[in-house]
Amino acid sequence: HSWAAITANGYGTRHDPEGEWLYGMEVCVDSSVRGYRIGQRLYNARKKLCEELGLKGIVFVGRFPSLSRRIKKYGSAENYLDAVVNQQTRDPVLSFQLRNNFEVIDLMPNYLVDDKDSMGYGVHLVWHNPKVETAANVAHTKRHGGRQPDTVRVGTVQYMQRRVTSFVEFMSFIEYFVDVVADYKGDFVVFPELITLQLLSIEDQELTPIQSIEALTKYTPRYVEAMQDLAVRYNINIIGGSHPTRVANGRVENISYVFHRDGRVDEQAKIHPTPNEVYWWNIEGGNELQVIDTDCGPIGVLICYDSEFPELGRHLVDQGAEILFVPFCTDERQSYMRVRYSCQARAVENQVYVVMSGNVGNLPNVANMDIQYAQSCILTPCDFHFARDGIAADTTPNVETVAIADLRPESLRIARNSGTVQNLRDRRHDLYQMKWRGN
């Protein structure tokens, strides 16, 4: 195998919680703190972890950093390996590993081709846990990971855009739905994209698109403060739809705010503004896409059009996301179906949950917000551990309502490691990869 293939390019998404061995991806010690036995401590900690979890041992492929300098003397990588194992010479990495009771399995060419010092070679090593019985008569017991199955309750709001007369009235509608999902002991409540455009109906006259966005950006501090307060008071995490926000250098981005029930606030900008957003509102795309850690596990946010780009969903799942939240705003059925089909595809190809939340209703006096079409839903992968059609909860189209479902992260882990198909594990890392070039 190669480093890229077994570690999923360093993201670790091929981890099997039911596995019996610990695979060592990498151990690095900064050169400025060498001499403090940090490497030894890390190796000891890995062994202790194996003993506590009852794993059979540790397997990894170690570097060969002196090979390129000594290949001329020994003639081949195999000869140099034999010399180190027989203590005829010393290698700064391999000799350390041998002292830690690791045994050589074999030599692996092309393990890490960018490792010029090792000439692409790696030494396949194993450490056997002495506390694990190995007798043939000991029954095999399948492990199911360290975490017990847990449940995340999610409520998605299909929100009616209607005229309001004040910011207070707008927040009263938001609070109503937060209260509803919190009463059902929800962990997350999700609102649609551009939900704050409703605030433009407060204006006495119809504004131009550019005037509209400028007016909306002035609500940002009040909106963030009010939503943050609701998350804490109702003890629920809020995916606050999205709100046009002025950022550095005067840019306006379409940003989804995640309000944690502990008071924290995270942001995720829309990466791909639609042609309409660019033309009418001069909205620009963000450059960062990061997983957000919550008290219910890692999540990601893809705002509407972003869900139609497979690379973004894969990038978030590679970082560990278990739920993708998709606030959306679509005007008619064709636009909606593009988002819906894309979200279902993201759920299948990444074996991840996807939650959609959209607007219904209309705002007659708000430019470029004339009509809405939505059928908000909660989607799952398609396998025996999930809903029959890959839909955990659905709504009636174009009706203001809430859909609620319980999602089990443990079901994702089972599907990814022992499902009918295993999309994440079966990727051909030797042929292709997802590489993020942004921040």
* Cα four-point dihedral sign 408, 391, 256, 225: negative
Q: Which residues share a beta bridge with 389? A: none
Which residue matches tokens 């409540």?
189
DSSP, collapsed to helix, strand or coil, labels residue 369 as coil
d(CA 316, CA 117): 33
Distance between CA atoms of residues 225 and 430, nearest Å: 48
| CB < 8 Å & 24+ apart, contacts of 49-53 | 49/22, 50/22, 50/127, 50/129, 51/129, 51/131, 53/143, 53/146
**Partner residues linked to 61 by β-bridges:** 124
Question: Tokens representing 372?
Answer: 């809405």
Q: Tell me which residues are annotated as active site.
A: 193, 270, 304
Identify whether the C-beta of residue 174 lies closer than 8 Å to the C-beta of residue 224: no
β-pairing, 122-128 vs 152-161, is unpaired
Structure tokens at 320: 């560990």
